[in-house]
Chain A
Amino acid sequence: MALVGTRKGLFLVRSDGHPRRWQAQGPLLDGWGVYHATVDRRDGTLYAAANHVIYGPTVQRSEDSGTTWSRSKQIGLPVDSGMTLSAAWHVEPGPPERPEVLYLGAEPGALFTSRDRGETWDVNRGILEHPTRDRWFPGAGGMCCHSIQVDPRDPDCIYVGITAAGVFRSDDGGLTWRPINRNVAADFLADPHAEVGHCPHKVLLHPARPDRLWQQNHFGVYLSDDQGDTWIRVDGNGLPSGFGFPIMLDPNDAEKAFVIPEKSPEYHYSPAGKLAVYETRDSGMSWKAIDAGLPKPAWAAVLREAAASDDESLYFGTQSGSLFVLDDGERWVEAVRHLPPILSVEVTTWSE
């Protein structure tokens, strides 16, 4: 099943087992912009980072597969910060050994922790008061904390990605955070070797090789094999563009990654009208397009949360409301069309 967050609600997209037969249920959270939704695999609770232009940011929870929802208690920034919360971006369930813990990435550049399964959220002071914050600035999508990864070997090792601040790692459970952006390009900054001010679009840790991180950045695709201490740029080996938003991994193969290039930071659509997912099987040494079954030509925009992968397949959604699923690793199927603009996609095997 895919959780498809759209600008106007959440859709649950299910297959009956046949790769070409999918049905969408929804919209749930009707009228809310679902920037991200996920299922907490520890207990089956569904969480959504849901925002409304009038009513503001919320986290919504459902313990009955989306039939009924409850809001977390009001999430906000402390008065002494001088800031107010403008959007909830990404809910990341915590590690198995901390079953009550979840993380929330938010805007402007904020991380929250819940220690009661999403009932209440406490702001992370280490991020909020980071000594480099005066050098952070918002991108076109705001100053969002969109990526949160926890090392499966050590629940105190946490990564966040913030636009445009960079990638940060905590080795002490979130008390302190170190910028880890070495070798990452930031062509819009006066100092190309700046410590912060970078624009990661999506950061993922490989679950089977946790020292390895992948990053789709504003300026290129990167991987790191030393917990983000240094990065290697790998988009020059066959990608039509280093610009894009989501990145997908194969949980069983750390050499593989998948990106959806777009034409440069000024355009945000498929390069030359050719929508494709590009796959590397050799840690970015080479890339190959997977485009069979995708519309041609197409000028698609796929947002940072709007792609997902699991053991079986890849999934991505477009701002024109189509969800594509890779069938047998070779051909894309348009599983659903005519949804509202798709903001996020997650997949889960979910027994109801």
Chain B
Amino acid sequence: MVRIVVPGILAAQAEGRKSFEVEAETVGDALRALPVADLIFNERGDLNGHLNIYLDGTDVRERGGMHCPLAGAAELRVVAMVSGG
């Protein structure tokens, strides 16, 4: 079981929930189980470009990206990059 924490605008789109407990084998599977998965991935299933995903403090890009296994991990954090306007 991993705890997923999402930023405010995603929480607002999930009836105010900021964190979720998800049972999944990989980072991608866990994120795709969220009720806001359509705001995290585009229609091709690619991660939206302005998001960083940290698994217990490490950028998942360094650990296989969406294929990164969750075994033994505690927290997955979705963070909006410094961008926008």
Listed in ascending order, the chain A residues whose CB lies under 8 Å from chain B are 7, 30-32, 52-56, 58, 71, 73-77, 79, 84-85
Task: Check B13–A53 contact: CB distance below 8 A.
Answer: no
Known contacts A52-B9, A79-B44, A84-B44, A58 near B84 by CB under 8 Å: no
Task: Check A84–B39 contact: CB distance below 8 A.
Answer: no
When chains A and B are docked, how far (Å) is the Cα of A53 from the Cα of B50?
A: 8
Task: Check B81–A74 contact: CB distance below 8 A.
Answer: no
Contact among B9, B39, B43 with A77 in the assembled complex (CB-CB below 8 Å): B43
Contact among A30, A54, A58, A76 with B80 in the assembled complex (CB-CB below 8 Å): A54
Kindly provide the distance from the CB of A127 to the nearest chain B CB, expressed in whole angstroms.
Answer: 17
Chain A to chain B contacts (Cβ below 8 Å), 30 pairs: A7-B85, A30-B9, A30-B12, A31-B9, A52-B9, A53-B50, A53-B84, A53-B85, A54-B9, A54-B48, A54-B80, A54-B81, A54-B83, A54-B84, A55-B9, A55-B10, A55-B13, A55-B48, A56-B42, A71-B38, A74-B38, A74-B43, A75-B43, A76-B42, A76-B43, A76-B44, A77-B43, A79-B43, A84-B43, A85-B42
Residue of B nearest to A54 (CB): B50
Q: A-B pairs with the 5 shortest C-beta distances? A: A76-B43, A74-B38, A55-B39, A54-B50, A53-B84
Residue of B nearest to A55 (CB): B39
Chain A interface mostly? loop
The answer to the question of B51 belonging to the interface, with a C-beta cut-off of 8 Å to chain A, is yes
Residue of A nearest to B13 (CB): A71
Residue of B nearest to A53 (CB): B84
When chains A and B are docked, how far (Å) is the Cα of A75 from the Cα of B41?
A: 11
Kindly provide the distance from the CB of A323 to the nearest chain B CB, expressed in whole angstroms.
Answer: 21
Task: Check B83–A53 contact: CB distance below 8 A.
Answer: yes
Contact among B8, B12, B48, B85 with A56 in the assembled complex (CB-CB below 8 Å): B48
Residue of B nearest to A79 (CB): B44
When chains A and B are docked, how far (Å) is the Cα of A54 from the Cα of B84?
A: 7
Residue of A nearest to B7 (CB): A54
Q: Beyond the given A31-B8, A53-B85, A84-B46, could you list 6 further A-B residue pairs with CB under 8 A, ordered by the A residue number?
A: A30-B9, A54-B80, A54-B81, A58-B38, A84-B42, A85-B43
Chain A residues, CB < 8 A from B10: 55
- B side interface size, CB within 8 A: 20
Interface centre among A31, A55, A58, A77 (most CB of B within 10 A): A55
Chain B residues, CB < 8 A from A58: 38-39
When chains A and B are docked, how far (Å) is the Cα of A84 from the Cα of B38?
A: 13
When chains A and B are docked, how far (Å) is the Cα of A71 from the Cα of B9?
A: 13
When chains A and B are docked, how far (Å) is the Cα of A7 from the Cα of B44?
A: 26
When chains A and B are docked, how far (Å) is the Cα of A263 from the Cα of B9?
A: 37
Chain B 1-30, CB within 8 Å of chain A: the 1/0 string?
000000011101100000000000000000
Chain B residues, CB < 8 A from A55: 9-10, 13, 39-40, 48
Chain B 33-66, CB within 8 Å of chain A: the 1/0 string?
0000011101110101011000000000000000
Residue of A nearest to B40 (CB): A55
Task: Check A54–B85 contact: CB distance below 8 A.
Answer: no
Chain B residues, CB < 8 A from A53: 50, 83-85
Interface centre among B38, B44, B50 (most CB of A within 10 A): B38
When chains A and B are docked, how far (Å) is the Cα of A75 from the Cα of B42?
A: 9
Kindly provide the distance from the CB of B47 to the nearest chain A CB, expressed in whole angstroms.
Answer: 11
Chain B residues, CB < 8 A from A32: 9
When chains A and B are docked, how far (Å) is the Cα of A77 from the Cα of B40?
A: 16
Kindly provide the distance from the CB of A1 to the nearest chain B CB, expressed in whole angstroms.
Answer: 23
When chains A and B are docked, how far (Å) is the Cα of A32 from the Cα of B12?
A: 11
Chain A residues, CB < 8 A from B13: 55, 71
Kindly provide the distance from the CB of B35 to the nearest chain A CB, expressed in whole angstroms.
Answer: 10
When chains A and B are docked, how far (Å) is the Cα of A84 from the Cα of B22?
A: 28
When chains A and B are docked, how far (Å) is the Cα of A105 from the Cα of B39?
A: 19
Residue of A nearest to B81 (CB): A54
Chain B residues, CB < 8 A from A31: 8-9, 12
